[in-house]
Copies of this chain bind each other. A is one copy, B any other.
Amino acid sequence: MFLYIFDLLGTAIFAVSGVSMAFRLKMDAVGVLVLASVVAIGGGTIRDLILDAPVFWLTDNNYIWIVVATCALMIAFIKKPTRIPWYVLPVSDAVGLAVFTVIGAEKALHYGFSPTVAVLMGTLTGCGGGAIRDVLAGQIPFIFQKEIYASACIIGGSVYCLLDYSHLPRVINILVAAGVVLAIRLTAIKWQLSLPTFSK
């Protein structure tokens, strides 16, 4: 139940990130909807296909409706998209990333796969939607150009897998691991931290 609300929240927040990007690219209402859907449910869809789990939004349409509602609310209440402060996109993205990383890792463990797969699925759930969004928008994905990004997912996913061996309540594990991802991302955004690259 807690995980479910947490998941719907992540979906809404990732949809916000999709809508912000669509506004920035001056798309119409349907473009907004498509981009928001891709960010919000794209990563989890690929995860479920790979895990051979039923795709999560097929039987529970709440995920779809929360994306539609987020788009409608943002279109209705934001008269001037350019007035969205610059940090809305990266911060909402960071929160969504934290939530989805943990949910992805949790689902893989729940289906009986190894921690290695769980870390990978966490990263995929977190970064997948955003990567498809960027590719559709004609940009090189976030994960390749931004400050510490996918690495936050890898660390957060690993933390969750470690905590999973503990006897703590799962809610604690989820919040701690999501907190780790969020803290890393926000720190990276604030001080523009990047990993060293291999140029020359």
Chain A residues packing against B (C-beta within 8 Å): 22-23, 25-35, 45, 49-52, 54-55, 57-59, 61, 64-65, 75, 80-82, 113-114, 116-117, 120, 131, 135-141, 143-144, 148-151, 154, 194-200
Contact of A61 among B52, B114, B141, B144 (CB under 8 A): B114
- Asked if B30 contacts A154 (CB within 8 A), the reply is yes
Q: How far is the CA of A135 from the CA of B132 in the complex (A)?
A: 10
Do residues B138 and A194 form an inter-chain contact, with CB atoms below 8 A?
no
CB distance from A197 to the nearest CB of B (A): 5
Q: How many copies does the complex hold?
A: 3
* B-chain residues with CB within 8 Å of residue A139 when the two chains form the complex: 138
Q: Can you name 18 A-B pairs with beta carbons within 8 Å? A: A25-B144, A26-B197, A26-B198, A27-B198, A28-B195, A30-B154, A31-B197, A32-B198, A34-B144, A57-B117, A58-B113, A59-B113, A61-B114, A61-B117, A81-B199, A81-B200, A135-B135, A135-B136
